[in-house]
Structure 1
């Protein structure tokens, strides 16, 4: 697996997963091909689901609460950022241990490079699979949530004629010394954004942006806090969800959605092979494909959804597509991007 940089310090555990690092309890026989009613009954007999997720604590809690309310199955969640999550999961797989029943991560590479670690999804495995939008189905995983990328800015400090419509607008001399840059080393999303800027505008854009006397912030959530406090006037790259809570509390923040090029990422969810609770895993995946599950997550954070019926989710820009992650994990490409941004 290709290495991810700058992620280990960001790991946060939401729930303690019983037996992590130990061989899992003996798995029960799955009955997914016997129909939804049989699957529900078998999943309820198992009574438990272990969910590995990179989503926020709030989203994970909302999903667990809604699933437990619907089916009476206890959900235990392990929350880590993508790098540490993949390191942990890969280590377990290579040791012949499967603790997770469901896993949701940003990185697409793991599904493609290690398909043997996951269940190949189909209607036989997950009822309703073929009804899910085709562009969101990827064989061993399905897109669940889409982040919407852009620029968080202070609505009181930034004059209306300086509100950015594009990333190139940030090269205006007005922005010198006023910008926070989310550190590309912190997650694949931000390194992917830097690569997207190079692909769209050329490496010169990143060099010119570095000339704006940038300050770094590890994540766009504390970045939004600093912008709201007036320490800086804008934070790039950010996601709409990073400032949801502050904006709802009346902070002087607005979010500029930049759609040329669009930026953002999807999280993909799947079922590990040899999941210890295979029926609960398949039922959870079935439920995750429904508007009800998407709305449960979107009720606590501003994110997009592949499902048009998920009416509590943020509307995606018309030409939105996930940010390519080609450069992530490529040491030479990452070094080139960081040097252009003046980051050593």
Structure 2
């Protein structure tokens, strides 16, 4: 009851304060170096608790190892799970104890960050390099910030097809030659994939969705699962509901963009935030500043969220895709929960409920 009273008081105070006043709140940009933040984190005790969105348990192993290598003595405890499950755990912790039970989170559920800010759950904090991050992927008051760009685009197994033959436009997937060769994540199990299919409906109508379903799709849970399926000795060769980055294909997979029709492609910036109740605030600030450092951003590939870090070699600037790739569009979709739920149920009616274990437990 006490925490509910505090939340009610917080929401009331937000209602009474004008939007102009909130956006004018002064939060200084971090001026301490990573080394200085590191020393503060060690003095604090050296622990850090992070919840990260993902659908494979080992998905963030490289990030964890890189952080621990650069900052020995910091015990980074990072848990990977589906974003839609992380937010439920965090909300229950907040409701039961008033504490999030986590220092930092970075998730796909962009609407949660807007709500958590409204509930006064997030620390107002602007990491170093704040001015280099596009306004469209950060909160004006420093409650949350985009840390990297995710993209789901055309991907194919190089052992099963070629760059020239693989589908690029959505309508290419409707060609009879791809029947029985497509794997796709359930749109009614992942909101990012749902947005891809929502955009297809807007561009091509429900008839195109029906034609796609008739292609004998292998429907799976998780956006990393299509790659695992295509790695196997089977006919499944192509997908657009995953991201592998823009590699040279040596990994066995190749990602490519369409030439004209971007209706089935999605790009967004994963948000990160420090909770007001973080028990390790110095370590949390170190972690967020490290994620946004020029060195880390340059090593991530693709497009950086920082304007002063160039895109991966061979890629055109993201600005060149204006009208085709629109990162803020996914946030707008996610904030309209009635629209999200309506389309989720429509696809559930067409496909049935998502079948199978959680992608973290399916051993694929």
- Shorter-chain TM-score: which interval? 0.7 to 0.9
Is 1:85 equivalent to 2:86 in the alignment? Answer: yes
The structure showing larger relative contact order (alpha-carbon pairs under 8 Å, at least 6 residues apart) is 1
Q: Which residue of 1 aligns with 2:47?
A: 48
Cα distance, 1:286 vs structure 2: 2.0
Q: State the alpha-carbon separation in 1 of the partners of residues 290 and 189 from structure 2.
A: 31
Q: 1:183 pairs with 177, 182, 186, which one?
A: 186
Q: Which residue of 2 aligns with 1:108?
A: 110
Distance of aligned partners of 1:197 and 1:343 in 2 relative to their CA distance in 1, 3 Å threshold: farther
Q: Which residue of 2 aligns with 1:225?
A: 228
Q: State the alpha-carbon separation in 2 of the partners of residues 82 and 159 from structure 1.
A: 33
Q: 2:238 pairs with 214, 234, 238, which one?
A: 234
Aligned pairs for 1:1-344 (under 5 A) are: 35-36=31-32, 39-46=37-44, 47-55=46-54, 60-72=60-72, 73-95=74-96, 96-115=98-117, 116-122=120-126, 126-138=127-139, 139-158=142-161, 162-228=165-231, 229-241=233-245, 247-249=249-251, 251=252, 253-258=253-258, 260-261=262-263, 262-295=265-298, 298=300, 304-307=303-306, 309=309, 315=315, 318-319=320-321, 320-322=325-327, 324=330, 325-326=333-334, 330-340=340-350, 342-343=351-352
Does structure 2 retain, via aligned residues, the 8 Å contact 1:183–1:216? yes
**TM-score normalised by the chain length of structure 1:** 0.75
Aligned pairs, number: 301
Aligned-pair RMSD on alpha carbons? Answer: 3.2
Q: State the alpha-carbon separation in 2 of the partners of residues 196 and 288 from structure 1.
A: 30
Distance of aligned partners of 1:314 and 1:265 in 2 relative to their CA distance in 1, 3 Å threshold: farther
Q: State the alpha-carbon separation in 2 of the partners of residues 237 and 158 from structure 1.
A: 17
Does structure 2 retain, via aligned residues, the 8 Å contact 1:184–1:194? yes
Cα distance, 1:45 vs structure 2: 0.6
Q: What whole-Å deviation, never above 9, does each CA across 1:46-96 have from its counterpart, x for those lacking one?
A: 122211112565563333333344444332212211111111111111121
Q: What whole-Å deviation, never above 9, does each CA across 1:215-259 have from its counterpart, x for those lacking one?
A: 212234332233343422322322224x979x534x3x4333236
**TM-score normalised by the chain length of structure 2:** 0.71
Q: State the alpha-carbon separation in 2 of the partners of residues 60 and 284 from structure 1.
A: 14
